[in-house]
Amino acid sequence: MLEVYKKTNRWVIILIITGIIILILPIYYANKLAYNLAQRELAKVELFVMSIKEINNNPDLDADLTFALDINTKLAKDIHVVTLNRNGVYQFYNYGPDPDTLNIIKRVESGKNFIITPEYPKIFYEYPAIVDWIKFIPWIQLLLLLVYAMIGYTVFNLSRREEQNRVWVGMAKETAHQMGTPISGMMGWLEQLKNKNTDHGFTKDEIVKYIEQDIHKLQQVSDRFSKIGSTASLQPESLIQIIHEAKEYMKPRASKKIIFDFPASNSQDYLVLINKNLFSWVLENLLRNALDAMTDSGKITIKLQKADSFAQILVSDTGHGISSNNFNNIFRPGFTTKDRGWGLGLSLAKRIIEDYHKGKIYVKESTIGKGTTFIIKVLLS
């Protein structure tokens, strides 16, 4: 548990540092861009002043001032300049036909953007609004990002809480279901023992054997739930043996019209690295789902294959099938296609196979009205 908190704190620090870098970079580049634009505006002002000097101070009355006049005209449309001559007269450039001269003078006099020349005591200039806007853009982005992050966090937190609630409810129901199956089985067998009619099809020894199986199953259920969240030990186990034990437990509790087509005890066997109790849980879950998918009759088939360093268990049924759109959804906590299901069995199966055994479980194929085939892949010993 302490290690989990350490990892969480480490990720929090990394996220904070990353966030600071993401914040600083746009502000730095925005200020750099604003500075470059300001320098360009200052260069235009200086060029404008030079053109004024060239026009007003040229002693040659016959000189060609076309170039200077052209520069002056173009720059006057592009910059905001207020000149103050030695006589105290202000002249305004690029402020429109009817400028508010008093406010403009007050504004430029209170600022620091001016240059001094021998001809003009002060030449004031103002940067375009875009220069100031560029400085504020990163802060606006930050504000929008914070609002978006808060909304995203709120939605994520609500979604996580809802999923946690579904998992807790599902776990409680799964526990009741896992325990309910052997308990209801034992109650049924006890009724058979009490029944004096011997035509029920089971001998006393068979009933005792099945009761012992149900008691063993209760012990398994307790052990399985104790292993959730802890590190499971993996041992070499026989797939044929595990499949045979699952069949021995499920077949007496299924309809007699259900055919179990499983590998024979002398078939090709594979030793796999698994936790037997948890793996049996997955297999029983698939078999139980297969039985639920069929009515009173049908067929459940299990085949074993080898694929590189993995053993593949193919579990097929002749049930109602799964829509291809739900091939991935069925492994999500809370998702179910059953009227009375709670959608936790397959999500637990996926976690057991993929997280604990480093294998794979997925739907190979399914046809509505014909059946479904699941594949479980686990490492060979």
- Measured at the alpha carbon of residue 345, what is the angle toward residues 380 and 371, in degrees to the nearest 5? 80
| CA distance linking residue 282 with residue 66, whole number of Å | 91
* pTM (2 d.p.): 0.53
26 lies in some domain: yes
Amino acid (one-letter) located at 356: Y
CA–CA separation, 34 and 18 (whole Å) = 25
Type and span of the H or E element at 250:
helix 239-250
Cβ atoms 327, 337 nearer than 8 A? no
Same domain, 120 and 241: no
- Judge whether 137 lies within some domain: no
End of a domain among 108, 127, 146?
127
Alpha carbon distances (Å) from 290 to 184, 284, 350: 20, 10, 16
CATH number at 268 reads: 3.30.565.10
Domain count, the chain: 2
Q: Which residue, of 127, 146, 164, is where some domain finishes?
A: 127
357 belongs to a structural domain:
yes
Position of tokens 């109602």? 320
Asked whether residue 208 is assigned to any structural domain, the reply reads no
If asked whether residues 117 and 251 sit together in one domain, one would say no
Residues 120-130 as b or e (16 or more Cβ within 10 Å = b):
beebbbbbeee
Q: Looking at residue 5, what is its pLDDT?
A: 45
Q: How far apart are CA 34 and CA 28, in angstroms?
A: 10
SS3 362: strand
207 is a domain residue? no
Residue 114 shares a structural domain with residue 237: no
The gap between the terminal CA atoms of the chain, to the nearest Å, is 31
Side-chain-facing half-sphere of 93: CA atoms under 13 Å: 22
Same domain, 241 and 364: yes
Q: Same domain for 239 and 368?
A: yes
Q: Which domain holds residue 317?
A: 232-379
What is the DSSP annotation of 195-209? ----TTS--HHHHHH
Measured distance CA(296)–CA(379) in Å, rounded: 35
- Sheet strands (E) in the chain: 80-84, 90-93, 114-115, 122-126, 235-238, 258-261, 271-274, 298-307, 310-317, 360-367, 371-379
Let me know if residue 28 belongs to a domain: yes
Euclidean distance between CA atoms 161 and 72, whole angstroms: 68
Residue where a domain terminates, one of 127, 155, 189: 127
User: What pLDDT sits at residue 321?
Assistant: 92
Alpha carbon 55 to its chain centroid, in Å, reads 68
* Rounded Cα–Cα distance for residues 95 and 204 (Å): 108
pLDDT in tens, the chain (381 residues): 445 445 556 777 887 787 778 777 877 787 787 778 777 777 777 777 777 767 666 666 566 767 777 776 777 666 788 888 888 888 887 787 888 888 888 888 888 888 887 778 888 877 776 766 777 777 787 788 788 888 878 888 887 777 667 666 666 666 766 677 778 778 888 887 777 665 556 777 888 888 888 888 787 777 767 666 667 789 999 999 999 999 988 888 788 899 999 999 889 999 999 988 889 889 988 998 899 889 889 999 999 999 989 999 999 999 999 999 999 888 887 677 766 655 678 888 898 899 889 999 999 999 999 999 999 999 998
Q: What is the pLDDT of residue 304?
A: 95
**Residue found by looking up tokens 């789902």 in the block:** 289
CA Rg, the chain, in Å? 41
Decide if 203 is inside a domain. Answer: no
**pLDDT at residue 300 in the model:** 96
Domain presence at residue 244? yes
Asked if 52 contacts 17 with a C-beta cutoff of 8 angstroms, the reply is no
